[in-house]
Copies of this chain bind each other. A is one copy, B any other.
Amino acid sequence: MLKAIQIRGCVTLRCWSLKQSLSFISISSSFNSKPFSSFSPIPYPSIDSSTPRPRRLRFTPFHASSSPPPPPLLHSAGVRNIKFCQWCGGPTKHDIPDGEEKLRAICTLCGKIAYQNPKMVVGCLIDHDNKVLLCKRNIQPSHGLWTLPAGYLEIGESAVEGAIRETREEANADVEVISPFAQLDIPLIGQTYMIFLAKLKTPHFSPGPESSECQLFPVDEIPINSLSFSSMVVTLSLYVEDVKAGKPKFHYGIINKRPGTSPSDIHAYTLDHHMHL
């Protein structure tokens, strides 16, 4: 179940669809030797015969001084929406507790602090006979657009168990997880995607209540312009890149979507701090 994701902000970066043969600049990190403060362009594999075009990826080295502060609007708005204590019902005040640096909602009766933390979205990238299983969303947001089966991780389950559950719920598919594939943080909306490579245990699938269709797409026919979220564009772009290169990797990256741009523009983002191994 993923009923409300990526509903805020996008950046204005132009990005070209897979069908237009993306040129993909990947910021790579060689392991334990040369960190990703250096980067090398890696050509995006050509999906068809058209001319590769550049996609700009913003690069910021990973060090403390460059760590941007949390977007104040998101954090502040989220905290200020907490008006009552969920444990005792007392009214909250919004203040910076002693020894901390961030605004919190603090109960004026019992003194408890309501911390807010990012949420994990877990899902499966299922390859079956060189085709990828996608679900057409039957719910908002992004109704009618394609997604990997994915949703919020629940308390009490592991990321793998959550990804398997979401796949069962959205595609009625019984899968076996093969490997972690990607961790993609989206700080602006307080989400982290964890996508696992998986395979069908039986070749059966059908739309669950939150899907109107489930379909296998060859990697060069993925409907990149009809995907539901930027996270899906990034995940599937990286997967196609890996498949063409002959070896899937594990990817970490930050999807930066800027406030004030259209949430429906799924190609409007920068993929920053991309590392893979």
Contacts and interface: CB of A to CB of B under 8 A. Distances in A.
A52 interface: no
Interface stretch (A10-18, A56-64, A227-235): A56-64
Interface string A71-104: 1001100100111111111011000000110100
A45 interface: no
Contact of A180 (B75, B119, B156, B183): B183
A179 interface: yes
A216 interface: no
Nearest to A246: B32
B248 A250 contact: no
A176 B91 contact: no
Contacts of A117: 117, 119-120, 152-155
B209 A164 contact: no
A175 B64 contact: yes
Contacts of A250: 180, 250, 277
B74 A83 contact: no
A257 interface: no
Nearest to A119: B117
Nearest to A243: B32
A267 interface: no
B174 A65 contact: yes
A143 interface: no
A190 interface: yes
A64 B165 contact: yes
A254 B62 contact: no
A238 interface: no
A73 B81 CA distance: 29
Interface in A13-38: 29, 31-32, 35-37
Interface of A: 1, 29, 31-32, 35-37, 61-65, 67-71, 74-75, 78, 81-89, 91-92, 99-100, 102, 105, 114-120, 127, 152-161, 164-165, 167-168, 174-180, 183, 185, 187-188, 190, 192, 194, 197, 199, 201, 209, 247-250, 252, 254, 273, 275, 277
Given A35-B199, A82-B87, 11 more contacts: A31-B179, A32-B197, A63-B164, A68-B161, A86-B105, A117-B154, A153-B192, A156-B190, A158-B185, A249-B277, A250-B250
* Nearest 10 CB-CB pairings of A with B: A70-B156, A84-B89, A158-B185, A62-B177, A158-B254, A35-B178, A86-B86, A67-B161, A180-B252, A75-B156
8 contacts: A32-B179, A62-B160, A86-B92, A117-B117, A156-B188, A158-B185, A160-B185, A250-B250
